[in-house]
Structure 1
Amino acid sequence: MNRYKCIALWLISALRLCTALSSVRLSVEKEGAFFLRGSSLEPLEQPVALAFQGRATVWARLGPFAVRQTLQWHSWAANTSIDAAVTAHLVTTAPRRDRPLVRVLFYISEVGEAPGCVALYAERVGGSWTEVPWGSCAPGPDGACLAQLTLPASWWPPLWGPGPVKSPWVELQFSPRASGSPECNAKEGTAQSPPGALPIGRLPLAPLHTSYEEVSGDGTVRLLVPQGPLHPGVRVYVPLLVHLTSSRFPFAFTLRAKMKPGLRVVAAQVRDPSAWNVTVQINSKRTSATVTASRLSDSSTLEDSHTGEEVLDWLIAVEEGHEEGGGQVSWHLRYHPEAQEQDEGLRFVARLDVHKDDVEAVLLVAKSTQLLNSAVLTGRQVSQPMRVFVVSQAGLLGDVTLQSSCQSADESVLKVSPSCTSVYLDGSEVRGSQNATVLVRYGSYEGQASFRVWMPQLPLELHLSDPKLSQVRGWRVQAHSHRSNAIHSWSTHQWNKPHGGGCRLRYQQATLEVWTRFLSVDHNSGRESYLLGRKTQARITGLVEPFLRVADPRVATLVRGHVLQGMRPGRTEVQVVSPLSGRVLGAVEVRVSADKESILGLEADLVTGISLELMPEESLGVFLARVNSSHKLTSLYQEGLLDVRVLFSDGTTVALQDLPETDYSLDTESLELAVVALAPKGSSAALPRVIALGQGRGSLLQISLEVPEACHRRRSGLLAQTRVNVDCTLTPTSDGVLYRDGTRLEHAPPPAVEARQDAMSRPTMHPSPTELALYAALGTCCLAVAGAGLAVASCAKQRWKQRPDNTPKVYHKEPEVQRMASSAHDWVWLGRATLERSAINTRCSQALVPPEKTEKPRVQVNPMMLTFTRGALPPPPVPPHRVTPPTMAWEELTKGKHYDQLVQYLDSLKESSA
């Protein structure tokens, strides 16, 4: 059964992590990512993690098991598979009615699968529209693009209302879109805002900002033409007002607009469709448009209005490339009640002030506008790359980083390179800020960007899992082992043999964690803001681990960087020292006592695998990460490991893998070898491995914790003992995962993470019965070859003894029978019968020996296929019981015989000797 518990990981917002085992090590592989704790998040059983930037890798590890998942916040939040970090930068800060365009610069700041386009959406706060305006742009080679959209004129309040009107707000969102989506096929339009769109911020709709020129033929129908400067590429609203009296009701009119070159009609938007019936006709070139409007209700409400009623708004665009000068619009107005049907109407002209293109904004673009000052803790610089872009009034975009100069408004908070390539923190800063300003100058144009700098709160908070370290009754270790381990990082080969110094009782150990809050200050109000709340702390142990020290190392010492080991009774402090100034950034007191605590027992679980999955929750930016652990053996030769923990009488617990291997001896025994057996020892003795051999369940393993061998006394060195539950349910087919033994598991979900569990799924590392037979046959063959070598040496020796002194190349027969008998044990004969008696009757051994011929028995000699040449070492001498001429040389004996005849001759000698 899979078991888990939940914690939370924050990446911009929150990510909850669920895991079953306290021994599972969770980590986030990213600079600037931390684990958090705090009651404001929920009662957490584990910390949470934080990161400001768009990607982080979450790891879960237990011994050789390791799984990871890369989390891309933009991809999750935007509900898209685009693997790139897109940041939005406002060009328009307060849209005006005479300038309804909203422009946003988007920048792709990470290498990855770039989106086909980025869509920008706008929605009026408090409104209820089924469709909202959108605009899109495709990123260029430099990763930047400019998107723009036009806000409807009806979102602004009337020009002349009955009283002061509260300025409305617009909320902007964006979403990376894949190529081929509708937003990428057009630059503007209206659509529903997609779910999961990323927020940019809220903008106020500015009230009347410029003066208007009233253009009219008779004062009844009037046009308000903005008098501000216009530039190529911009758009402007021209309101149309009607001032009526009851004497002219019913009322209808037709107004035709004709644009001169450089201008075009985009649309005519009706202000109140319930009061006016309006039809609009625009030609294909958008150079002329005709509007027909008729009043639907009584005009009594218009008699008290001195300014008139807004009927519609003309939306006129200045074309790109238009030269500096005036833009002219000709109007033709005709009233058409039945009595005036033949009236030729009124003609009048409006002029727009068009200027040449100019710079609209200078933007500093960074991957993130928030920086976390970890340089104060580590001494390592924290930097953020930056670029400078210029946006023109016509909507053109250019990178002018190298032509710009930058400076920081307050270098005690944030620093910037003069070339505008980066902002950075070097650790000399004294406070955080919510509005740290960087100024940029490009020619005569200036711009600025605000950054939020989070500063760690000092002093740091150090937390020990056990502030009182006592001696452990009965647990003796070498007196010098801990001091050596503190220096050599628990090298397992340092103390394989006992050296001088004797043994002593071991002291308990505690895990040290360092926590802090990150805060920023508003320079205007002095208000402090805490990252994720005042009650939320970030764990920075990994950052400050190299700068931890013990005030009195004779009392306690640090091993593995953050594990405090007691050495002798006394009191001391664990301190975090600044790498820049050397001052103490935080400290905690620890007491090492001569009191004795006992080991209550062991806890152990069988773990056969872990998995990690990440899922988004309903709230934006909140994710659920679940680490599941499996505890069942389901296939033959599948391996698992034992997660062992030691329980003390003071209520503390320590995982065996956190203890130095020189301080204990762990004995694991299988109580049912037909079900589960011990696997060969791996790299860690703290995580014993087992292998499945058959069906069964129950307490089938026994674990014993003993003192190290060097400190054994006459009595038993047993410290604690426990049994482990094993569930070995072997199934012929499982769930789709292919193990190393070829078993395929059915209905397995597709892997969502990259896992590294090779060290724990190697059933071929353990020999099967067939392999054991093969190894035995191979060993027999090796012994046969060695016997052949001994036979050759023995024969050579015997021949040397039988040779007369004056004839070194001739072998003589020894007449003494007793000498013959005494030499009998020197003879070693190799043949098929010898191999058959020595080898195990397996397929391998049968394959090693050639099949026997029925017509004639044959002894296979010279198994190494050696050939004898003249002058080389001669073969063994003729057996002593064979009658041969005493003076016959070996050359004469073998003269004229080929190899097969020689072999047959030796076979006959063997038969006669038998």
Structure 2
Amino acid sequence: MAVSASSFSLPSEFWVKAKKGVNLLSTKAKSSQWKVDWEVQSGAKHSIATVEVSKMKGVSGDVAANVEIMQLDFEMENFTSQSVTRRINWNIDYRGQYPPPDSDKVVTELTVVQKDIQAIIPLSMDTEIINTAVLTGRTVAIPVKVVSIELSGTVTDISSFVECKSSNEDIIKVSMNCDYVYVNGKEARGSMNARVIFSYEHLSAPLELTVWVPKLPLNLQLSDNSLSFIKGWRVPILPDRRSARDSDDDDEDERKVSRGCTLQYQRAQVKVLTQFHTTSSEGTNQVITMLGPDWQVDVTDLVQDSLKVVDPRVAELVDHTVLVALEQGSTLLKVESPLAVEAVLGEAPFSVLDDKVSIMDLRVHAISGLSLSLQPSPGNSHTMVAKATGLQTLSALKQ
């Protein structure tokens, strides 16, 4: 450690005080102008070194803004942690000057490491995280590991020793042990450069990820929003079904024969779509849509347990995604939030009518196999389009 002073206020004596574990090994004058004498006194908790500085008689030197006087060599005793911080207190006495200036007190903090670590690097299993927790209530997490790079090129896993903090928990969160980043559905938005800062001693490094969030409200699509009786299609009346659904057919004989049956209502297939989007950077409103603005993602499987019919007397859900009419009326099909009571992520209206529709056509397609083709998306060079085609040609014996 080099010690410098102003040429107009040269010190006469130093007191260097340090806790146990910091030892002054030697002092050395930096030029022939100076004479340096020192001694060390060791106590129970501290060691105090007294260093006396004097200018050699008959030696002239250049007058500069700052003069480097001497060099002090310290030694740190063994320590068990990866690094420690040691404090050295300096007291400087300007004796022999008139009027004497006040004594100066300076504190120096030294960080001592066992290894010459040049940088730390956080590594994640993925660089993007899709926040489906908004839809499912289930946490989405990505494991993280932090390694150190030493001057020698040695790479060491220091994941157990780092500290971490998310730059914005409304976008992404990090575990207390710093071993994974996650979203739990309570986030407010996404970001192209969500940051988690990892720190190890005096070093720090960011982990940047893209966070995608679903666009709300969700787009609920029904194969038919108006459900009617199917003329000529009768099914047995179940114990919990009302006989009032019997058709007012003009044919009295048909009514007598079919007294234990009722007309079948139409059914509707339910599909839930959404877009996943993010913002270009924090603090801006520029929205970027995953895959492109024309793409929607089918999230039916993710939200099927949250689908509910507002009025269960009008219709019910079978196998989660098939809407079955029960009686005449109008109501809503909605997706309830798994995280907030009475919060709705999306809804669609539908009606059950008292009229009849006829089946006009039935078609049967024999599928002997499937072919799959991949090609780049015309609007997005980072997207591939997979197209599955059904084959109807029988090409093998007993196929």
Task: After TM superposition, give the deviation of residue 519 of structure 1 in Å.
Answer: 1.4
Give the match for residue 560 of structure 1.
319
Q: What CA distance in whole angstroms lies between the structure 1 residues aligned with 2:119 and 2:373?
A: 40
Give the match for residue 155 of structure 2.
397
SS at match of 1:525: coil
Q: Please say if 1:599 is aligned against 2:364.
A: no
Which residues of 2 match residues 202-241 of structure 1 at below 5 A?
none
Mapped contact 1:357–1:394 kept (Cα < 8 A): no
Note closer, same or farther for the CA distance 1:503–1:633 as it changes in structure 2 (3 Å cut). Answer: farther
Q: 2:391 aligns with which of 629, 636, 641?
A: 629
Mapped contact 2:291–2:383 kept (Cα < 8 A): no
| CA deviation profile, 1:137-168 (whole Å, cap 9, x unmatched) | xxxxxxxxxxxxxxxxxxxxxxxxxxxxxxxx
Note closer, same or farther for the CA distance 1:516–1:624 as it changes in structure 2 (3 Å cut). Answer: closer
- What 5-or-longer segments of structure 2 have no aligned partner? 1-113, 242-258
Task: After TM superposition, give the deviation of residue 404 of structure 1 in Å.
Answer: 1.0
Q: 1:574 aligns with which of 303, 325, 333?
A: 333
Q: What CA distance in whole angstroms lies between the structure 2 residues aligned with 1:620 and 1:546?
A: 33
Note closer, same or farther for the CA distance 1:467–1:433 as it changes in structure 2 (3 Å cut). Answer: same
Give the match for residue 468 of structure 1.
226
Q: 2:210 aligns with which of 444, 452, 461?
A: 452
Q: 1:529 aligns with which of 255, 269, 288?
A: 288
Bigger helix fraction: 1
CA-based RMSD of the aligned residues comes to: 2.5
Q: What CA distance in whole angstroms lies between the structure 2 residues aligned with 1:392 and 1:625?
A: 49
Note closer, same or farther for the CA distance 1:392–1:524 as it changes in structure 2 (3 Å cut). Answer: farther
Note closer, same or farther for the CA distance 1:614–1:364 as it changes in structure 2 (3 Å cut). Answer: farther
- Residue identity matched to 1:404: V
Note closer, same or farther for the CA distance 1:525–1:517 as it changes in structure 2 (3 Å cut). Answer: same
Q: What CA distance in whole angstroms lies between the structure 1 residues aligned with 2:190 and 2:142?
A: 16
Comparing both chains, which one has the higher relative contact order based on Cα–Cα distances under 8 Å and sequence gaps of 6 or more? 2
Note closer, same or farther for the CA distance 1:463–1:475 as it changes in structure 2 (3 Å cut). Answer: same
TM-score by length of 1: 0.28
Q: What CA distance in whole angstroms lies between the structure 2 residues aligned with 1:596 and 1:561?
A: 26
Give the match for residue 123 of structure 2.
365
- Residue identity matched to 1:562: T
Q: What CA distance in whole angstroms lies between the structure 2 residues aligned with 1:410 and 1:480?
A: 56
| CA deviation profile, 1:22-76 (whole Å, cap 9, x unmatched) | xxxxxxxxxxxxxxxxxxxxxxxxxxxxxxxxxxxxxxxxxxxxxxxxxxxxxxx
SS at match of 2:169: coil
Q: 1:538 aligns with which of 268, 284, 297?
A: 297
Note closer, same or farther for the CA distance 1:404–1:518 as it changes in structure 2 (3 Å cut). Answer: same
Q: What CA distance in whole angstroms lies between the structure 2 residues aligned with 1:463 and 1:482?
A: 28
Note closer, same or farther for the CA distance 1:610–1:383 as it changes in structure 2 (3 Å cut). Answer: same
552-561 or 520-529, which deviates more? 520-529
Q: What CA distance in whole angstroms lies between the structure 2 residues aligned with 1:620 and 1:528?
A: 18
Q: What CA distance in whole angstroms lies between the structure 1 residues aligned with 2:195 and 2:382?
A: 29
Q: Please say if 1:438 is aligned against 2:200.
A: no
Which residues of 2 match residues 3-82 of structure 1 at below 5 A?
none
| CA deviation profile, 1:879-911 (whole Å, cap 9, x unmatched) | xxxxxxxxxxxxxxxxxxxxxxxxxxxxxxxxx
| CA deviation profile, 1:165-187 (whole Å, cap 9, x unmatched) | xxxxxxxxxxxxxxxxxxxxxxx
Task: After TM superposition, give the deviation of residue 508 of structure 1 in Å.
Answer: 0.6
Q: What CA distance in whole angstroms lies between the structure 2 residues aligned with 1:532 and 1:430?
A: 21
| CA deviation profile, 1:277-312 (whole Å, cap 9, x unmatched) | xxxxxxxxxxxxxxxxxxxxxxxxxxxxxxxxxxxx
| CA deviation profile, 1:317-375 (whole Å, cap 9, x unmatched) | xxxxxxxxxxxxxxxxxxxxxxxxxxxxxxxxxxxxxxx98433221111211111001
- Residue identity matched to 2:160: L
Q: What CA distance in whole angstroms lies between the structure 2 residues aligned with 1:612 and 1:360?
A: 53
Q: What CA distance in whole angstroms lies between the structure 2 residues aligned with 1:620 and 1:461?
A: 25
Give the match for residue 144 of structure 2.
386
Q: What CA distance in whole angstroms lies between the structure 1 residues aligned with 2:338 and 2:283?
A: 32
Q: What CA distance in whole angstroms lies between the structure 2 residues aligned with 1:626 and 1:466?
A: 25
Note closer, same or farther for the CA distance 1:527–1:605 as it changes in structure 2 (3 Å cut). Answer: closer
Give the match for residue 425 of structure 1.
183
Task: After TM superposition, give the deviation of residue 535 of structure 1 in Å.
Answer: 2.9
| CA deviation profile, 1:480-513 (whole Å, cap 9, x unmatched) | 2897xxxxxxxxxxxxxxxxx9321111111111
Note closer, same or farther for the CA distance 1:476–1:624 as it changes in structure 2 (3 Å cut). Answer: closer
Mapped contact 2:194–2:208 kept (Cα < 8 A): yes
SS at match of 1:542: helix
Q: What CA distance in whole angstroms lies between the structure 2 residues aligned with 1:572 and 1:406?
A: 49
Task: After TM superposition, give the deviation of residue 617 of structure 1 in Å.
Answer: 5.6
Give the match for residue 8 of structure 2.
none
Task: After TM superposition, give the deviation of residue 625 of structure 1 in Å.
Answer: 4.6
Note closer, same or farther for the CA distance 1:386–1:596 as it changes in structure 2 (3 Å cut). Answer: same
Q: 1:586 aligns with which of 343, 346, 351?
A: 346
Task: After TM superposition, give the deviation of residue 546 of structure 1 in Å.
Answer: 0.6
Q: What CA distance in whole angstroms lies between the structure 2 residues aligned with 1:464 and 1:408?
A: 41
Q: What CA distance in whole angstroms lies between the structure 1 residues aligned with 2:277 and 2:385?
A: 24
Note closer, same or farther for the CA distance 1:465–1:527 as it changes in structure 2 (3 Å cut). Answer: same
- Residue identity matched to 2:364: A
SS at match of 2:363: strand
Give the match for residue 166 of structure 2.
408
Task: After TM superposition, give the deviation of residue 630 of structure 1 in Å.
Answer: 3.5
Q: 2:237 aligns with which of 479, 492, 495?
A: 479
Mapped contact 1:362–1:447 kept (Cα < 8 A): yes
Q: Percent identity?
A: 35
Which residues of 2 match residues 304-319 of structure 1 at below 5 A?
none
TM-score by length of 2: 0.61
| CA deviation profile, 1:567-621 (whole Å, cap 9, x unmatched) | 11110100100111131111000011111110112111233x3134455669666
Note closer, same or farther for the CA distance 1:623–1:555 as it changes in structure 2 (3 Å cut). Answer: closer
Task: After TM superposition, give the deviation of residue 624 of structure 1 in Å.
Answer: 4.5
| CA deviation profile, 1:370-407 (whole Å, cap 9, x unmatched) | 11100111011100011001123443322111111211
Which residues of 2 match residues 760-779 of structure 1 at below 5 A?
none
Aligned length: 265
Which residues of 2 match residues 494-893 of structure 1 at below 5 A?
502-521=260-279, 522-582=281-341, 583-607=343-367, 609-613=368-372, 615=374, 622=384, 624-632=386-394, 634-635=396-397, 638=398
SS at match of 2:291: coil
Mapped contact 2:328–2:351 kept (Cα < 8 A): yes
SS at match of 1:622: strand
Q: What CA distance in whole angstroms lies between the structure 1 residues aligned with 2:332 and 2:155?
A: 58
Compare CA radii of gyration and give the structure with the larger one: 1
Note closer, same or farther for the CA distance 1:395–1:482 as it changes in structure 2 (3 Å cut). Answer: farther
Q: What CA distance in whole angstroms lies between the structure 1 residues aligned with 2:208 and 2:193?
A: 5
Note closer, same or farther for the CA distance 1:481–1:425 as it changes in structure 2 (3 Å cut). Answer: farther
SS at match of 2:365: strand
Mapped contact 2:223–2:270 kept (Cα < 8 A): yes
| CA deviation profile, 1:663-709 (whole Å, cap 9, x unmatched) | xxxxxxxxxxxxxxxxxxxxxxxxxxxxxxxxxxxxxxxxxxxxxxx
Task: After TM superposition, give the deviation of residue 450 of structure 1 in Å.
Answer: 1.3
- What 5-or-longer segments of structure 1 have no aligned partner? 1-355, 484-500, 640-914
- Residue identity matched to 2:195: T
Q: What CA distance in whole angstroms lies between the structure 2 residues aligned with 1:432 and 1:467?
A: 33
